[in-house]
Structure 1
Amino acid sequence: MKRWGESSFEAQLPPQTVLDQMEMAVIVCDRFSNIIYSNEYAQRLFGFRGEESIGRSVLDLGIAEEDRDQATELARHVLKGGVWEGTFCNIRADGTTFYTRAQAVPLRHPSGSVDGTVIFAREAFRSNQRDRERFGLLERIGERLAGSLELATTLRQMADTLVPQFADHCFIDLFSGDRLIRRVSRHTGGWTPPPGTWAQVGEPVSYPPDHFCSKAMARREAVLVEDLMQHRFSAPSTASMNLSREVGVTSVIAAPLLARGELLGVMSLALSGLGNRPDPHYDGFDRDLVGAIAGRVALAVDNAMLFEAERETALAFQKDLLPGDIPPRLDGLQIAWRYEPARPLESHGHGIQTQVGGDWYDVIPLSAGRVGLVIGDVEGRGARSAAVMGQLRAALRAFAQDDKPPAEILRKLDEWTRAMSKSRRPRPGEEQPRPTLVSCTYFVYDAWSRVLSFANAGHDPPLLIQDGKVGELEFDSKGAMLGVRGSGVGGEILFNEESCELKPGSTLVLYTDGLIDRRPREDGTYYSREESRRMLREAVAAVAHEDVETIANAAYEAVPGDIDDDVAIVVIRTSDEELAVEQRVFAAEPIMVSEARRMAADTFAAWGVDPEQAELACLLVSEVVTNVVLHAASAPAPRREPVMPQVGGLGSGSDALPSLEEELWDLGVELGRREPATKEFRLRLRRGARSLWVEVFDSDLRLPRIRSAGETDEGGRGLYLVDQLATRWGARPTADGKAVWFELPLEPGGPVGA
């Protein structure tokens, strides 16, 4: 139906007619950068027929090789909802070079999702070819330098832009201390100078005083040598001079790299016979252009160097908060771990995120050879997240020494996390500080019983490899992240205790979510978490029978694409062999002290323990067992509440009282005739590769403590001896009492009393 005021021609004008009359190229691509539409101007501009372009990648539209990586990155940026505008170098179907000024916007579905990209382009310049190249070069260099804060990337992109379009040879030398070090040596056509001629990347460079590079640095301005054959100067070496003549270097521009008044180095560009140019000479305009380029390069280099220094400081800070590079040697376990910080993210105008994160892991030796394992991730990035991670790791190690169950450890860590959130000051613009949220899983593994106990706080389950099959360790409850209660979420947070028995040779792969989150595809989209998990399982399954280091590396390389978050990986494998253990239950009577010592001596002899070490161990066994027996004998009897029986037929007078007392007396006598339960203790001996562990279990809830015995006291020195002679000792509560334990080294002359 025609609207009021609308002409018949306007009502019937199809969109195709409008697009074909536009003096601007319009190209529509799907999510995979394949062309699904192009108007007539685009076909004339790029030199192809319409039907030839449909279904082809937009990269095939003559985008110059040096701009292809940038085009791929921009496609990813636009597919995420961004907009980009800039200049590209293109090559027509007939081989001519031209520049286009382009804008790319997302093609959105009515639902709001991005289905592809729309590119609008027009030819940037209509003057002579050389002027177009000069103007486009400066603009494109600015775009390239704005996209990276990594020094190596900045220098590489700089050289890719200059060679071969503006120079046949590009050198960038930067100061390291008082020496110039060559950082870039790029040449047209992939040509490489022979060794011993022009300095290679990483080698020092020394220019004579009359060299054009020395003059540029001394004058702090660009120096032009229009005809090198007519210019007399001293080269760094005879071989260098001979090579310049051999390749036919004709013209050179050297420009100092100055940033904030400081000389960072020098950049030199040269034309030679390798470029096959019709006029291989620079002019005054080129000198001014290179001077402007050098200023931009210097600022980008300075920013990159400052950024790298800050990043190295942050990484060193975080590395010092994490365990060392070499995992500890523990009985019944093989361990490998890997930590990788996120790479800098180039986001084309949306800021560059380059900060470290809060991923952490730890392996904590516990009592009697047991091991605590943790993997966790503090939400957010930067020094604050790393600092929070360091505090949490220290707090967890302290809590773990109490040998409490994993669920109780997480409850205490949750309280610690919420306390940190409350004590933090708000950032500028925040009314209240954001709560600290942390995901982690804490495990306790007993290599002798092969029992793994654990509790989870919102972390991804680890992979479990058993009998060559890869699955996931099942969590009955994922649990809430630490700090959730501090974020305003109501309700009590419970951390459930779970346990399972690991088969001999089982392998656990613990990891943080940076391993599977936001890994980019080549088309700019991202793998889903399900796809990433599948690739991770497949990669681990392929090396399931290899050593733990190989599995850790395979896990890290499983999902392609750069990581944009920190990654921590811990791989542990249980032993195929059974570890030596012996235990026996004794009555808590003095006569059993010698029996316990005899059992220990026989066991140590059977294990081939050094006699001196065995004698020392037996002495400490006697002291601990004696302490248990004495306290068992002196332990107060449980308090029993009297129960008033219902006695029938009693009168209300005084003559009824004797009958009541008599019945209560009879009841008390009857209770007294029951024999009390015999108190017992259990002695358990464990042997590892380098240590002996002794544990004594009893039902007394009181934990032992060292007391100072007087000169005339007959007792009170047992635990003091244990403290002085054992490597470590302690006591931990159990479900029905406590366990007192100590550790001794197996090697003769080992660290006693350390």
Structure 2
Amino acid sequence: MGHAAEHSGAGRGLPWSAELVLDADGTVLACTATTAELLGRPLPEIRGRPLGGFFRDPSLWERLAANAPDAAQAVLRRPLAGSLDASVSVAPLLTGDGPGPRLLVRLAPASNGEIRDEFGLRVALDSRGTGVMVSDPRVQQRLDLLHAAAVRIGGSLDITESAEELVGMLVPVFADLGAVDLTEEVLAGEEPGEYVTGTPQRRVAVAAARGCWPDDIHQLGETFALGDVESAHMRRGGAGVLPDLGPLRAELGGTPRARLVLTRSATSFLVMPLRARGAVLGALGLWRTGDRTPFDHDDAELTEQIGSRLALGLDNARRYSRERRTAEALQRSLLPRPDVAVTAAETSGVYAPAATAAGTGGSWYDVIPLSSARVAFVVGKVAGHGVHAAGATGRLRSAVQTLADLDPPPDELLSHLNDLVVRFGEDQGQRDPAGAASLLRATCLYAVYDPVGRRCLLASAGHPAPLLARAGEDTAADVVKMHPGPPLGTAGEPFESAELVLAGGDVLAFHSGGPPGRNWDTDRDLGLLGAGAQRAAGAAGAAGSAAAGREPLHTITRDILERLRAEPRRHDLTVLLARVGETPDDATAVWELPADPSRVAEVRSLVSAQLAAWDLTELLFATELIVSELVTNAIRYAGGPVGIRLIRDQRLICEVSDPSQTQPHLRRARLSDEGGRGLFLVAQVAHRWGSRYTPTGKTIWTEQEMPPR
């Protein structure tokens, strides 16, 4: 409860130790035995009752409340009844546990003399023996500082902002110069290690009464290390005071240690190690200059109370920063490389984190190359935040990539994804409810663009539609008209696809939207994205070419990111710009044949002539082998018509389509088998191969590396 000073005067002669701790409602939480003697009640009858009930004179309580610190006002204004005259002093108790403020109240019997408590607060007694608090400027300043510390320190979860708040509060009211130095581990959000000699510290906040920080001590942002003596004091903890800097100035002179403490105008110095949970976080340094009263022991005690609040606030901010950075790093690791350039599209994506950890995690995008020079654009958002949301994002992205490898249409892919999310939620619900909740009600948009046919198919599971800006047009970007289905894991309704016909240079702007149920934090974000899409499409040159006049997408997305981060965001956001391309007509060759084995030789001749026209004779043997085997199998097992298509892209693509939906399987034929070797040979000469379903059957495709030019 603290040390109490004795008083002199009439009354029962009790020592100044009748002390109580009150909560925010004025209820007695704890009291000394002397309090029970003074009130004439056993301890059990005092604890848990309002203190005001023990007073006879309501005016005493009102006068007390009028002069008490602001934090005590609401507690002290209570109806009174009782049979006790007493003098009273009140001070905020900063070390109380539990929610709400705590007040330390000291009572003394009525006396005609003067009583001064250990804080220096005078309590004068009137002729009726009723206590009246008398203001002492120095004590009132300390109480004001304690109140300001309770209100202002610890409210921010930004480490630097908390340090700046403290020195701004103490300078010039309490000191002429103030600085906060923190270890590098704290600034990085890491767990503070053992504080040893040479541990680097950085000056993160300074304040000067005259506005100009002196140049003969460490500057803002400077990193330095303490010597043995200073480090030992930091480890011991507790405020240290140098009332007179003269002897130290004579001892240190112009040595490097002088930059720690000595400045030309300073006359006294106070240093407070900042410790939290047993670890040293840094130090608070205060200087007084000129003829100002030097720091003393009372100042050190006050600084310890204020500094302890700052240390706890800094440690909370450090833990918060670490959690936020962990979630951001995990979320960023789940995103693809920011810029992708293929024939189908040039893309650039950015991730804008939220201003707080509560909004970080959950937004993602992906760009997935598909067979036949096509590309898939994916954007989504999971519910929740933090590491749970990031983990759910990883599972969802992996599921989409696996399903995309099977190459289903967008609406079918979302149906399979919805089934997986439902199963994930059922399996994970008992052991990880937060992770399951992040997956359920997640949103996802999946789009597939074919540069040969210049068609884009889109389907959405509760996700907002992208914006479309047409190449070279001055019109604003429009939201694509489509009907989003329900979020993942919420219903078994079918998903509906929308189709767009695009031209080279058109820009699709995908975004992850805002929180569930809302697309954006503000309309400003949507307008910013639309302007970026229009800017990306406006300078397009000839369709299908990499026109030199086009502005790089990464420049536009970088500008969008800077604008998005200019103001604090409540939720994270991803933006993906895709400027589509198109495959030239002379880069494709298409044939269709009936199911006639005699036509296989004709197909080889057609393929050979086309490769010669493309100057790809190096691939002639392998391509003829691939076409012969695939066409022969299609005629034998699937019937006609059989379609053949060659695409000259970054790789040579060969497709064979037939009306059967039976998928081929690669196997190793035994020596006694008469068949089964064709697909094995195809796999050996091709770089990649696979198959996909089509509305009329299936297509088997292969890719071959192009010869260097």
Amino acid of the structure 1 residue aligned with 2:343:
D
Do the aligned partners of 1:726 and 1:743 also contact (CA within 8 Å) in 2?
yes
One-letter amino acid of the structure 1 residue matched with residue 154 of structure 2: A
Is the aligned partner of 1:205 residue 2:224? Answer: yes
Inter-partner Cα distance in structure 2 for 1:607 and 1:307? 60
- Report the equivalent of 1:267: 284
- Correspondence 1:304-453 to 2 at 5 A: 304-320=317-333, 322-344=334-356, 354=358, 356-425=360-429, 436-453=440-457
How far does the alpha carbon of each residue in 1:28-56 deviate from its partner, in whole angstroms, 9 at most, with x for none? Answer: xxxxxxxxxxxxxxxxxxxxxxxxxxxxx
Residue of structure 1 in register with 2:497 after alignment? 497
Q: Which amino acid aligns with 1:568?
A: T
| Aligned residue in 1 for 2:530 | 537
**Structure 1 contact 250–280 (Cα < 8 Å) conserved:** no
The whole-number CA distance in structure 2 between the counterparts of 1:592 and 1:498 is: 38
Give a deviation string over 1:222-253, Cα, whole Å, max 9, x none: 11011212435765963663897663121111
2:463 corresponds to which residue?
Answer: 459
1:544 Cα deviation after fit: 5.0
1:539 to partner: Cα distance: 5.5
SS in 2 for 1:161: helix
Distance verdict in 2 for CA 1:748–1:531, change over 3 Å: closer
Give 2:179's aligned residue.
Answer: 170
Match of 1:684 in 2: 645
2:486 equivalent among 480, 484, 487:
480
- Alpha-carbon separation, structure 1, partners of 2:268 and 2:679: 86
| Displacement after TM superposition at 1:592 (Å) | 2.2
Per the TM alignment, residue 206 of structure 1 is displaced from its structure 2 partner at its CA by 2.8
Tell whether the 8 Å contact from 2:536 to 2:553 is kept in structure 1 after alignment.
Answer: no
Alignment partner of 1:720 out of 680, 689, 693: 680
Which stretch shows the higher mean deviation, 551-560 or 334-343? 551-560
AA aligned to 1:445 is: Y
Kept in 1, the 8 Å contact 2:272–2:285? The answer is: yes
Residues 209, 712 of structure 1: alpha-carbon distance in 2 compared, 3 angstrom cutoff: closer
The residue aligned with 2:668 is 708
Q: Which moved more, 1:127-136 or 1:334-343?
A: 127-136
Q: How far 1:219 moved relative to its partner?
A: 3.5
1:586 corresponding residue in structure 2: 593
Deviations 1:180-199 (A, max 9, x none): 221424131442454xx533
Deviations 1:632-666 (A, max 9, x none): 4xx5xxxxxxxxxxxxxxxxxxxxxxxxxxxxxxx
Residue number in structure 1 paired with 2:558: 553
Residue matched to 1:58: none
C-alpha contact (below 8 Å) 2:457/2:498 kept by paired residues: yes
Is 2:593 aligned against 1:600? Answer: no
1:704–1:245 distance in 2 versus 1, CA, 3 Å: closer
Unaligned runs of 5+ in 2: 1-65, 68-99, 102-132, 186-192, 539-550
**1:77 equivalent in structure 2:** none
Question: What code does the residue aligned with 1:708 have?
Answer: R
Deviation at 1:374, TM superposition (A): 0.9
**Whole-angstrom CA distance in 1 between matches of 2:157 and 2:298:** 29
Matched, 1:140 2:148: yes
Secondary structure at the counterpart of residue 152 of structure 2: helix
* Alignment check: 8 A CA contact 1:539 1:558 kept: no
Q: Percent identity at matched positions?
A: 31
Show the counterpart of 1:735. Answer: 695
Change (3 A) 1:429 1:497: closer
**CA deviation vs aligned residue, 1:582-628 (integer Å, no higher than 9, x gap):** 2122233223222222222222232233x433432332222222222
Structure 1's 243 and 305: CA in aligned 2 closer, same or farther, altered over 3 A? closer
Tell me how far apart the structure 2 counterparts of residues 192 and 608 of structure 1 sit (CA, whole Å).
Answer: 73
Could you report, residue by residue, the CA deviation over 1:354-373 in whole angstroms, capped at 9, with x for unpaired residues? 46321121111211121111
**1:240–1:364 distance in 2 versus 1, CA, 3 Å:** same
Unaligned stretches of 5+ residues in structure 1: 1-22, 25-83, 86-124, 345-352, 486-491, 520-526, 636-678, 750-754
Cα distance change of structure 1 residues 129 and 535 upon mapping to structure 2, 3 Å threshold? farther
SS in 1 for 2:692: strand
> How far did 1:517 drift?
9.7
1:335 CA drift (Å)? 0.8
CA contact (8 A) 1:378 1:437 kept: yes
- Counterpart contact for 1:544–1:551, Cα < 8 Å: no
- Distance, in Å, in 2 between the alignment partners of 1:734 and 1:296 is 67
Instruction: Give the CA deviation at 1:542.
Output: 5.3
CA RMSD of aligned residues (A): 3.4
Q: Say which SS state the counterpart of residue 684 (structure 1) adopts.
A: strand
Distance 1:143 1:612 in 2: 78
Query: What's the counterpart of residue 70 of structure 1?
Result: none
Whether the 8 Å contact between 2:508 and 2:533 is mirrored in structure 1 is no
Structure 1 Cα separation of the partners of residues 438 and 706 of structure 2: 51
Rounded to whole Å, the distance in 2 between the matches of 1:707 and 1:502 is 41
Alpha-carbon spacing, 1:339–1:617, altered in 2? closer, same or farther (3 Å): same
Report how many aligned residue pairs link the two structures: 552
- Counterpart of 1:251 in 2: which secondary structure? strand
Deviation by residue 1:650-697 (Cα, 9 ceiling, x = unmatched) = xxxxxxxxxxxxxxxxxxxxxxxxxxxxx3211111122x31111111
Give, in whole Å, the separation in 2 of the partners of 1:192 and 1:607.
73
Q: Could you tell me how far apart the structure 2 residues matched to 1:236 and 1:746 are?
A: 75
Query: Per the alignment, do residues 616 and 540 of structure 1 end up closer, same or farther by CA in structure 2, a change over 3 Å counting?
Result: closer
Q: Is the 8 A contact 1:517 1:529 kept in 2?
A: no
Q: How far has the Cα of 1:573 moved from its partner?
A: 0.4
TM-score in terms of structure 1 length = 0.67
1:298 to 311, 316, 328: 311
Q: Does 1:471 align with 2:490?
A: no
Select which of 126, 141, 165 maps to 1:157.
Answer: 165
Contact 1:163 1:186 in 2 (8 A): no
Maintained 8 Å contact 1:426/1:434: no
Mapped partners of 2:279, 2:530: distance in 1: 52
| Distance in structure 2 (CA, Å) of the matches to 1:447 and 1:713 | 41
TM-superposed deviation, 1:319: 2.9
| Structure 1 match to 2:207 | 187
Q: Tell me by how many angstroms 1:437 deviates.
A: 0.3
Q: Distance in 2 between matches of 1:716 and 1:411?
A: 34
- Does the 8 Å contact 2:536/2:579 carry over to 1? no
Counterpart in the other structure of 1:661? none
Say which SS state the counterpart of residue 154 (structure 1) adopts. helix
Q: Please, which moves more after superposition, 455-464 or 531-540?
A: 531-540
Q: Tell me the equivalent position of 2:302.
A: 289
Please report how far the alpha carbon of residue 286 of structure 1 lies from its aligned counterpart in structure 2 after TM superposition: 1.5
Tell me if structure 2 keeps the 8 A contact 1:216–1:254: no
Once residues 502 and 174 of structure 1 are traced to their aligned partners in structure 2, the CA distance between those partners, rounded to angstroms, is 56
Aligned amino acid, residue 466 of structure 2: P
- Rounded to whole Å, the distance in 2 between the matches of 1:394 and 1:436 is 16
Contact 1:207 1:236 in 2 (8 A): no
Q: 1:529 to 1:215 in 2, by over 3 A?
A: closer
Question: Measured at CA, do residues 231 and 564 of structure 1 come closer, stay the same or move farther in structure 2, by a change above 3 Å?
Answer: same
What is the distance in 2 between the residues matched to 1:581 and 1:247? Answer: 81
One-letter code aligned to 1:586: L
Question: What CA distance in whole angstroms lies between the structure 2 residues aligned with 1:687 and 1:163?
Answer: 72
